[in-house]
């Protein structure tokens, strides 16, 4: 993106590149597709649950955080693979830490849903 863009033009290109990234992640990562499927099923469920608005927001946001972690992990893995596809301890560590971030977000989402619902 041209760093000289300002105002609405910058906003347009930022949105364009963000949507391009979402499309690329959706096309290349099964985990992204699976998480979006779960989100599309569970978000409507929150409207039928007997929970407060604040609890509903927590339920939805816990799912969105999982998606954010997965997107960041996907970006990290793509960058690491671009640098080298050889086995390297630091690249392996970076990928493992990215995977751990996704795992922690999944546990947090599961605990959030369990605490609110039960």
- Which residues define the annotated binding site? 10, 17, 29, 31-35, 48-51, 70, 77, 95-96, 99
Binding residues for substrate: 10, 31-35, 48-51, 70, 99
- Quickly count: other Cβ atoms within 10 Å of residue 17's Cβ: 11
Binding residues for ATP: 10, 17, 29, 77, 95-96
Three-state secondary structure call for residue 106:
helix
Show which residues are catalytic: 70
């Amino acid at each position: 993106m041209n760093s000289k863009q300002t105002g609405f033009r910058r906003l347009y290109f930022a949105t364009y590149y963000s949507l391009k990234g979402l499309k690329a992640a959706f096309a290349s990562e099964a985990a992204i597709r699976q998480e979006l499927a779960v989100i599309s099923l569970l978000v409507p469920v929150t409207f039928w649950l007997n929970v407060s608005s604040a609890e509903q927001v927590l339920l939805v946001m816990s799912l969105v955080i999982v998606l954010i972690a997965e997107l960041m992990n996907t970006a990290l893995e793509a960058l690491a693979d671009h640098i080298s596809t050889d086995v390297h301890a630091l690249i392996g560590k970076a990928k493992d830490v990215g995977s751990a971030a996704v795992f922690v977000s999944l546990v947090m989402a599961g605990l959030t849903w369990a605490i609110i619902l039960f």
